[in-house]
Amino acid sequence: NAGVTQTPKFQVLKTGQSMTLQCAQDMNHEYMSWYRQDPGMGLRLIHYSVGAGITDQGEVPNGYNVSRSTTEDFPLRLLSAAPSQTSVYFCASSRLGPDTQYFGPGTRLTVL
C-alpha cells in the first residue's frame, strides 16, 4: 500500500492564481481531511469528508474548495491564491471518522 499520497511536494504561485492540491489514499478509508500547518499554530482543519459525495467545512475553510467524487481522492482547490495561504498542507485519512489518522507527506505552498 502506498498509503496517503500528495502532489505536488512543493509549489510556488502568484497572487490570484488557482491550483489544485491532489490527495489520494489506497486504504479504502471513508474519512479524509485537509489541514494547514503554520509556524506556531499547529494543524488547523480546512475541510473534511466522511465519504464519497459528502464534504463539510472545518475551522478555516475560506478560500478553499473540495469535492469527493471517489473514495480514493480528495482534491483541495485554491480558487484565487493569496499570500495568507502560504503554508504546509497535509491530507489525512482514516477508516471511519476522526479516529487514527494516516497523514500524507505534505505540500509546501508559497504564494507570492
N-to-C CA span, the chain: 36
Question: What is the grid cell recorded at 56?
Answer: 463539510
- Beta strands 10-13 and 107-111, pairing class: parallel
Pick from 17, 22, 27, 50 the residue near other proteins by CB under 8 A: 50
- Beta strands 19-25 and 4-7, pairing class: antiparallel
Upper half-sphere CA count for residue 20 (Cβ side, 13 Å): 9
* Single-letter code of the amino acid located at 40: G
Closest approach of other proteins to the CB of residue 85, in Å:
19
Stretch of 14-22, 52-60, 69-77, 79-87 lying at the interface with other proteins (CB under 8 A): 52-60
Binding mask 55-94 for other proteins (x = CB under 8 A): -x-xx------------------------------x-x--
Residue 8 binds to other proteins (criterion: CB under 8 A): no
Question: What is the grid cell recorded at 82?
Answer: 493569496
Q: Which is nearer to other proteins, 16 or 98 (CB)?
A: 98
Which residues of this protein are in contact with other proteins, per CB under 8 A?
4, 31, 33, 35, 40-45, 48, 50, 56, 58-59, 90, 92, 97-106
